[in-house]
Structure 1
Amino acid sequence: MSIRHDWTLEELQVLYDLPFIELVSKANQIHSRFHELSEIQVCSLISIKTGGCQEDCKYCAQSSRYQTSIKAQPMMTFEAVLRDAKSAIKQGATRVCLGAAWREVREGKPFEEILKIIEAITSLGVEVCCTLGMLNASQAKRLKEAGLYAYNHNLDTSEKFYKTIITTRTYQDRLDTLSHLENSKLSICCGGILGMGEDYMDRLELLLLLGTRNPHPESVPINRLSQIPGTPLEGQSKVSVWELIRIVAIARIVLPKSMIRLACGRIGMSYEEQALCFLSGANSIFAGEKLLTVANTPIDKDEEMFQLLGLKKKTAFKKASKS
């Protein structure tokens, strides 16, 4: 099977309309060709700079524009980040993700400190990913030189719906950052959020954009909106787990080699629901008690799920099959 970059929206619509079992079966066949079915990448997310963000993302607790329980905090110290990273690695994480509530990366002491942190965590033998907002070409180059493996920069949704959720940056701003990352040879982590009020076509249009990029993103986090009190989306209805599984399956078909990651919203899912996601092509999770500012599935519950389903943890730096 060849990797395609010429998908059409009509083809994705056909996939979406397939009977559920047929879609899951098709996705599982592709998943088994490029990945080990029982292998799951375990990632840990550390919020190294929480709150006080000037952006107006309607879903985010860290925006300074909304009255939420999250207050601006200073950046974590080198020692504190390294301690949390070592703890996550001890609990099985092979990718450590560092998140900062910034609109964009700025030159100066905080950025220099992050470069040092990346070097230190990379030396522990794990993949390091950052999500620091928009950046320029020289900053991407310096991150790569420090040992950064991947950079997360989500597109969230379709271009047309994006402007109803965020007005302080444009879709093109996000695409420009993705171009800088590609030019620096950093792996790209780029996904979306389900349940912000978008329709299914917005979800398909996001997958189409990711599926027609060359190369495809190395990893694709799929989030279910966490309704944060104080944000404009706090009363939004939750997307059904059936829709989540359907989108996971289509993502696997369109992006055969990408890591499809169950991200925010997993805490409310049963083992059976998560098993269906894995069966449909998801092969990565965020582990740990918290994802930035929202609760996540407890470590002991994930360990129980891994044992129950016979899952094993993917080692760092392992690539998908070339078949």
Structure 2
Amino acid sequence: MIRNDWSIEEIKAIYDTPLLELVYRAATVHRQYNETAEVQVCTLLSIKTGGCPEDCAYCPQAARYHTGVKNHGLMQTEEVLAAATKARDAGSTRFCMGAAWREVRDNRDFDRVLDMVRSVNDMGMEVCCTLGMLTPEQAKKLADAGLYAYNHNLDTSPEYYGEIISTRTYEDRLQTLDNVRKAGVSVCCGGIVGLGETHEDRIGMLHTLSTLPEHPESVPINALVRIKGTPLENNPKVDIWDMVRMIATARILMPAAMVRLSAGRAEMSVAEQAWCFMAGANSIFTGEKLLTTPNPGLDEDNAMFQLLGLHPREAFKAGPAGATAAAGEPAKSVLTH
């Protein structure tokens, strides 16, 4: 049964399960709800880079940090479509566009983003955006343009959040999620491991996600990418077993969600990633960059898919009522150039 009434105590009991038993349990749940050889392949493009007014302690795009990221204004629609075509031809079925904004403003830039959404949607790809905070009206405009999913991460627990970000509140984030949900757009929402949080904070974040009125359709679990110039640059590397434990617990709590092994893969071996897939991860970003941070290239992911017997999930599978299969070519059995 898919539940939205998990208690902190129940989640802690799952999270604290001995690791091998936890992975076995998560893998069992994964098999009940998903095709385990199927992985959603996503590409993330930074359509507006740097200069963000927020103070997220992990982010190289915050204007107040000196990270070497070069500011770049909003891309032209034609540039974005070229990148989306390349991603689709390489096997991606979801195309995500990220802009370093605190919030969306009703101006010509937003009109251009709406045009991008329409155009990528017409290509037969699932379109996702992460643009910061949204009003209900803006969420509705994105939905009408064909937006499939909206990413807005909680990052960590309500209790630890203020140690990482001061320029918007936890409630602001939850309100955007509610606006997106009410507009009929699927929700992509997860967090980051390695911010200096405790195990209790990780459990608290999973509690928030798993007790939302509806689980997010996609739950990214990110390992902190330590960027020189950010306040968290000297944090220790995230232990792979912490990632496995988080993914396994998320899979048990939210059985039908796509659990995405997101940032941090560049520092993981194929064997370590295989543990994450075993624990219930069934989505990745592919391509050499995630916004501005490193990510494994297509050749590496292609070899990993072949080795592990994985294949891309087709676009719009088990999507919202009325969603149809992709209009473009079917997903390839493995990632290709």
Residue pairs, 1:137-176, within 5 angstroms:
137-176=136-175
Measured after TM superposition, the shift of residue 73 of structure 1 is: 1.1
CA distance in 1, matches of 2:215, 2:230: 32
Per-residue CA deviation, residues 192-250 of structure 1 (Å, 9 max, x unaligned), is: 00001001110111111111112100000010001110010000111200010001000
Structure 1 stretches of 5 or more lacking a match?
A: none
Equivalent in the alignment of 1:282: 281
CA distance in 2, matches of 1:91, 1:150: 21
Equivalent in the alignment of 2:207: 208
For the residue of structure 2 that corresponds to 1:159, the secondary structure is coil
Equivalent in the alignment of 2:129: 130
Equivalent in the alignment of 2:305: 306
CA distance in 2, matches of 1:250, 1:299: 29
Matched to 2:253, the amino acid is V
Q: TM-score, normalised by structure 1?
A: 0.98
For the residue of structure 1 that corresponds to 2:160, the secondary structure is helix
For the residue of structure 1 that corresponds to 2:78, the secondary structure is helix
CA distance in 1, matches of 2:260, 2:180: 20
Residue pairs, 1:28-47, within 5 angstroms:
28-47=27-46
RMSD: 0.8
Measured after TM superposition, the shift of residue 16 of structure 1 is: 1.7
For the residue of structure 2 that corresponds to 1:261, the secondary structure is strand
Percent identical residues: 54
Measured after TM superposition, the shift of residue 160 of structure 1 is: 1.1
Residue pairs, 1:174-189, within 5 angstroms:
174-189=173-188
Structure 1's consecutive aligned runs of 4 or more residues displaced over 2 angstroms after TM superposition are none
Measured after TM superposition, the shift of residue 71 of structure 1 is: 2.4
Residue pairs, 1:1-323, within 5 angstroms:
2-319=1-318
Measured after TM superposition, the shift of residue 319 of structure 1 is: 1.9
CA distance in 1, matches of 2:278, 2:201: 24
CA distance in 1, matches of 2:78, 2:232: 36
For the residue of structure 1 that corresponds to 2:238, the secondary structure is coil
CA distance in 1, matches of 2:220, 2:62: 21
Matched to 1:210, the amino acid is L
Measured after TM superposition, the shift of residue 21 of structure 1 is: 1.0
For the residue of structure 2 that corresponds to 1:160, the secondary structure is coil
Measured after TM superposition, the shift of residue 176 of structure 1 is: 0.8
Measured after TM superposition, the shift of residue 17 of structure 1 is: 1.7
CA distance in 2, matches of 1:95, 1:88: 9
Measured after TM superposition, the shift of residue 89 of structure 1 is: 0.5
Matched to 2:196, the amino acid is G
Matched to 2:109, the amino acid is P
For the residue of structure 1 that corresponds to 2:159, the secondary structure is helix
Per-residue CA deviation, residues 83-112 of structure 1 (Å, 9 max, x unaligned), is: 001001100000000000000000010000
Matched to 1:313, the amino acid is P
